[in-house]
Amino acid sequence: MPRLIGAAQTASFSDLISTFNSSGTYTSTPATTTVDYLVVAGGGGGGSRYGGGAGAGGFRTGTSFPVNPNTAYPITVGAGGTGNTSTGSVSPGSAGNPSVFSSITSAGGGKGSGTTDLPAATLGGGSGGGASYRGVGGSGNTPPVSPPQGNNGGGTNADGFFGGGGGGAGAVGANMPGGQGGNGGNGLPSTISGSDITYAGGGGGASFPGSGRGTGGTGGGGDGAGASLAGSAGTTNTGGGGGGGSGTDGAYNGGSGIVIIKDPKGTFTASSVWDLRSVFRNVKAGTWS
């Protein structure tokens, strides 16, 4: 930043972006009073043995969120849920874990169902997990917030062998379309990091070997297993749901979440000459260039 001498002038500050791939602490600068944020929770783990794809972690973003200057805020980045790894088991995966910044909490993604008719209420989360065996997918945006943090998981209408897709931040998980697992719901994009990145895609539902599998939603959703193809886990630090497992391999883990805090550009008026104390404070705060 140029040194200002004489009459008052306006100086611009650059964005300060803090990215948390794991839990830590965000400390606001002495001049910060509002921030923009992205808080994505961990995706759920997929269900085994023709299981449902897991739901994506909750996706919450906002601007001009009030914070106190020069204050430490604990950050929690949720881990992804665990996919059921047993090929002979009909058990579900586990739900993802929440991510937290200040009063903003994003719920972990719902687990994918195994080949059992689990109540839909057990599959809910930031986005809902996919069902199996004539089940109904879990509810997204659980618990409810506005705007919604996710969407419902997909259901099935057959006696086993196929799983519904997990819900994503941008779309519901697909119901089993007949002859294959349902696709995971797509996620949502964010440019808060300075790049256009999509987060929180749902996991694809699995199918009987030789049948078509469900693919993961954009934003890190893992593919379901099937058609002699292995599935995949949700992508790390996207909150993507894990893919469902077939009868020959276990299910897949959800991706961990992420928290990004941005101190937006601001302007202020320099009264005349920069004194060394002001320069020191701004260099220490990272707002001097």
Give the mean model confidence (pLDDT) for residues 266-275. Answer: 46
| pLDDT, position 278 | 61
Give tens-digit pLDDT for 179-217: 789 999 999 999 999 999 999 999 999 987 667 889 999
Is the pLDDT at 120 greater than 90, yes or no?
Answer: no
SS3 for 71? coil
Q: Identify the pLDDT of residue 91.
A: 72
Mean pLDDT of 98-127: 88
In the chain, the percentage of residues whose pLDDT exceeds 90 is 61
Confidence band for 26, pLDDT divided at 50, 70 and 90: very high
DSSP 38-51: EEEPPPPPPPTTTP
Q: Determine if residue 133 is left, alpha or beta; phi over 0 gives left, psi from -120 to 50 gives alpha, anything else beta.
A: left
Residue 246: pLDDT band with limits 50, 70, 90: confident
- For residue 244, what pLDDT is reported? 92
Strands 24-27 and 197-199: unpaired
Judged against a pLDDT cut of 80, whether residue 110 lies above it is answered with yes
Residues 202-227: b if buried by 16+ CB within 10 A, e if exposed: bbbbbbbbebbbbbbbbbbbbbbbbe
Q: What does the pLDDT read at residue 249?
A: 72
Please tell me the pTM assigned to this model: 0.86
Task: Tell me which of 182 and 12 has the higher pLDDT.
Answer: 182
* Domain range summary for the chain, segments of one domain joined by +: 1-289
Confidence of residue 89 (pLDDT cuts 50, 70, 90): low
Q: pLDDT, tens digit, for every residue of 123-137?
A: 999 999 999 888 889
Mean per-residue pLDDT, 246-267: 84
pLDDT at 283 over 70: no
pLDDT for the residue 93: 86
If pLDDT is split at 50, 70 and 90, which confidence band does 226 have?
Answer: confident
Mean pLDDT of 39-63: 94
